[in-house]
Amino acid sequence: MEKSLINTIEQDVKFSEVDSLGIVWHGHYVQYFEDGREAFGKEHNLRYLDFYKQGYVVPIVSIQCDYKRVLRYGDRIIIETTYTPCEPAKINFNYRLLNAVTGELVVTGSTTQVFLSKDSFTLQLINPGFFQDWKVLQGLHETAAR
Amino acid sequence: MEKSLINTIEQDVKFSEVDSLGIVWHGHYVQYFEDGREAFGKEHNLRYLDFYKQGYVVPIVSIQCDYKRVLRYGDRIIIETTYTPCEPAKINFNYRLLNAVTGELVVTGSTTQVFLSKDSFTLQLINPGFFQDWKVLQGLHETAAR
Amino acid sequence: MEKSLINTIEQDVKFSEVDSLGIVWHGHYVQYFEDGREAFGKEHNLRYLDFYKQGYVVPIVSIQCDYKRVLRYGDRIIIETTYTPCEPAKINFNYRLLNAVTGELVVTGSTTQVFLSKDSFTLQLINPGFFQDWKVLQGLHETAAR
Amino acid sequence: MEKSLINTIEQDVKFSEVDSLGIVWHGHYVQYFEDGREAFGKEHNLRYLDFYKQGYVVPIVSIQCDYKRVLRYGDRIIIETTYTPCEPAKINFNYRLLNAVTGELVVTGSTTQVFLSKDSFTLQLINPGFFQDWKVLQGLHETAAR
């Protein structure tokens, strides 16, 4: 069974996420990205807890966010989270946030995560076996082996 | 040297703390209380880390907050944190938040914390020795023994 | 058609809501209460925006929260929000948060809101007509008139 | 009198900013950047409220953050905020966060802001007069005119 490498969720803008200009405060988009990443992880058994059980933590080492339009309280958001394969021992996601009613693109962004051993926080230079296996299962083998 | 059992700090309202009505979102006052409690702890060597080194964590088990007036972005806050002695193995604080310019009372509140052993999260039914010692040093012995 | 005066939603504990002790930070429960209140408002057309369109804002003037058990990352929460009728021009909610898997009661709490005119922030001493109408529709008339 | 174009502040890591791994959650660095930007604005009368009084809002349109090391509860942070002049009607800041005790570089980042008229949210294609004046006063005229 083929699973999509794009996960899509929808959620409402919360009252507490909106600033005094009536728009979502820019910092809350980092949480929206994490919401998307977590939904992706839930679909693929790759949530933080799954990594942890395998002996790893996967902290964010880089984040980028570009704001195109604003969201307001009462708006509904589509969060599109796309896993982007790469050869190194890293996890890259791209994000697209859309206004669910107008379909307009609101924000784009990306994150990079690395693998650390959960106890010593030592950087892993090769992909852990279970993650490499997952990539193969997704048909990402060629990409990963390039 | 006598230390006051009231700690007072001042800080600015942050842009991100204000909601679309232009006032501090009610949930952020819980953080202001923690800011006050931490400042008190810094003064008395009773921060979370100090409790932890002694083998305890001190989670909040009850919080109460009453809102009298509003704060806006640009306002400056006075946070008054008062330790209120009690005989049981609990830590009670009362809070008063004032507008630093007008002197008006903005919010009152209180919190109660208990002692848990840091490893098993077991509730402690008597005050840990180092905390009882601190109370005595503060001249709270009579109060504590009442 | 009869609508329940208890609204129930379920949601996951987010990674960012958990503190260094591995448990949900006490301040985030204020957001969970708002999540519950918003879900209730969505069911009854009584969200912040609905009040605003009628000319009112309904700030929290009092909040109380009692913590019985802890929640961890990966836990699923049930948020029960109950409207509690009262005669004065106030809105009272009670909250019960449960662990969705074990059914254990985690937190109880309550909030009180008042009606202010949206422009002058003037306190309203009687219930606005549309809100009184809603209470009658809910069969809360006797209660309200007591 | 010459003002520095680098603003430096120090602050403590808060308990609520730390996640279950015992390190500051990556999303909180966006707030640290805003803390730095606000301190810069306070020094130069260029806070959000100052822009607003002049008729403008200055939303973030791009943010980038690279994480080199971790911060823990109890750590003290140095936030260095540097204004980086540019000809277009934009405001660019670079950030460096350091561990105040070890001096180690923890995070680098940057933000870009644009000018919108406060009422219509219309994008301004040239720098507002008061901001151009400020740049000249800072001796950034040549840079700005390049």
* Domain assignment of residue A72, yes or no: yes
Question: Is the CB of residue D94 less than 8 Å from the CB of residue D57?
Answer: no
A144, pLDDT greater than 50 = no
Residues of chain D in Cβ contact (below 8 Å) with chain A: 21, 23, 26-27, 30-31, 34, 57, 59-67, 70, 121
D138, pLDDT greater than 80 = yes
A44, pLDDT greater than 70 = yes
Return the partners of chain B (3 or more C-beta pairs < 8 Å).
A, C, D
In C, which residues are within 8 Å of B34 by CB distance?
27
**How would residue A60 be classed by pLDDT, with cut points 50, 70 and 90?**
very high
Query: So what's the pLDDT on residue A146?
Result: 41
**CA nearest to B25 within chain A:** A16
In C, which residues are within 8 Å of B26 by CB distance?
30, 59-60, 63
* Domain assignment of residue D52, yes or no: yes
Q: Which of C16, C34, C49 is the closest to A34 by Cβ?
A: C16
C-beta atoms of C15 and A38 within 8 A:
yes
The sign one gets for the Cα dihedral B135, B138, B144, B145 is positive
Query: So what's the pLDDT on residue C139?
Result: 86
In C, which residues are within 8 Å of B57 by CB distance?
21
**How would residue D66 be classed by pLDDT, with cut points 50, 70 and 90?**
very high
* Domain assignment of residue C1, yes or no: no
Pairing of strands A90-99, A105-114: antiparallel
Q: Which CATH number covers residue C44?
A: 3.10.129.10
Return the partners of chain D (3 or more C-beta pairs < 8 Å).
A, B, C
The residue among B109, B89, B87, B93 whose CA lies nearest residue B30 is B109
Count CA atoms closer than 13 A to A71's CA, side-chain side: 33
**Residue range C4-52, pLDDT digits in tens:** 599 999 999 999 999 999 999 999 999 999 999 999 999 999 999 999 9
Specify the range with the lowest mean pLDDT, choosing from A29-33, C77-81, D46-50.
D46-50
In A, which residues are within 8 Å of D34 by CB distance?
27
Specify the range with the lowest mean pLDDT, choosing from A114-128, B3-17, B94-108.
B3-17
In A, which residues are within 8 Å of B20 by CB distance?
15, 18-22, 73
> Whole-model pTM above 0.95?
no
Query: So what's the pLDDT on residue B124?
Result: 96
* Domain assignment of residue A146, yes or no: no
In D, which residues are within 8 Å of A23 by CB distance?
59
DSSP, residue by residue, C4-54: PSEEEEEEEPPGGGB-TTSSB-TTHHHHHHHHHHHHHHHHHT-SHHHHHHT
Question: Is the CB of residue B134 less than 8 Å from the CB of residue B46?
Answer: yes
**Residue range C72-130, pLDDT digits in tens:** 999 999 999 999 999 999 999 999 999 999 999 999 999 999 999 999 999 999 999 99
Query: So what's the pLDDT on residue B140?
Result: 79
* Domain assignment of residue D85, yes or no: yes
The residue among A43, A114, C98 whose CA lies nearest residue D68 is A114
Average pLDDT value for residue range D13-30: 96
**How would residue B144 be classed by pLDDT, with cut points 50, 70 and 90?**
very low
Which residues of chain D form beta strands (DSSP E)? 6-12, 56-57, 60-67, 76-84, 90-99, 105-114, 116-117
Query: So what's the pLDDT on residue D146?
Result: 41
Query: So what's the pLDDT on residue D74?
Result: 92
Query: So what's the pLDDT on residue A69?
Result: 96
How far does the CA of residue C73 sit from the closest CA of chain A (Å)? 8
* Domain assignment of residue D1, yes or no: no
Decide if the complex's ipTM is over 0.95: no
Q: Which domain holds residue A93?
A: 6-141
* Domain assignment of residue D137, yes or no: yes
The residue among D113, D106, D108 whose CA lies nearest residue D131 is D113
H helices of C63-128, in order, are none
**How would residue B133 be classed by pLDDT, with cut points 50, 70 and 90?**
very high
Rg over CA atoms, chain A: 16
* Domain assignment of residue A50, yes or no: yes
Q: What residue type is assigned to position C70 of the chain? A: V
Q: Which of A57, A59, A63 is the closest to D65 by Cβ?
A: A63
C-beta atoms of C25 and D19 within 8 A:
no
* Count of domains observed in chain B: 1
C-beta atoms of D19 and C22 within 8 A:
no
The residue among D127, D122, D119, D121 whose CA lies nearest residue D143 is D127
**Residue range A90-124, pLDDT digits in tens:** 999 999 999 999 999 999 999 999 999 999 999 99
B3, pLDDT greater than 90 = no
DSSP-derived 3-state class of residue A127:
coil
How far does the CA of residue C143 sit from the closest CA of chain A (Å)? 30
Phi, psi at C98, each rounded to 5°:
-125, 150
